[in-house]
Amino acid sequence: MERRNRSLEALKRLIYVDSLDDEQRGEGLKSWASTYLDTTDVTNFDLTHEELLKLRELLFKNANFLFTYREHILEELKSISQMKKFLQK
């Protein structure tokens, strides 16, 4: 029963993190992964088929979000770096 409760808590928290703004979402996903994926294997989730499908959907959706968010941050850092070089001249 404890495993089931932890699995439901993980799913609910991932649903919540998915609803946050980009910056908060990135930090929330980092926290979620370190809490629920570092300590257990994905196969240890005790969820129904529908809940597992929802978890899978959210994991893929947020993995794609993290990739695009990373690219966006790199572009911003590049822009800031160029601006600093311009202002130093």
pLDDT score of 42 = 64
Is it the case that residue 40 has pLDDT exceeding 80?
Answer: no
> How many CB atoms within 10 Å of residue 86?
8
Q: Residue 61 sits in which domain range?
A: 2-88
Tally of structural domains, the chain = 1
Give 38 or 64, the one with higher predicted confidence: 64
Instruction: Give mean pLDDT, residues 57-64.
Output: 93
Instruction: Give mean pLDDT, residues 30-52.
Output: 84
Which among 13-17, 79-83, 85-89 has the top mean pLDDT? 13-17
Is it the case that residue 85 has pLDDT exceeding 90?
Answer: no
d(CA 58, CA 16): 11
Q: Assign 37 a pLDDT band (cuts: 50, 70, 90).
A: confident
Backbone CA torsion sign across 7, 8, 9, 15: positive
C-alpha distances in angstroms, 35 versus 53, 76, 81, 87, 89? Answer: 20, 29, 34, 42, 46
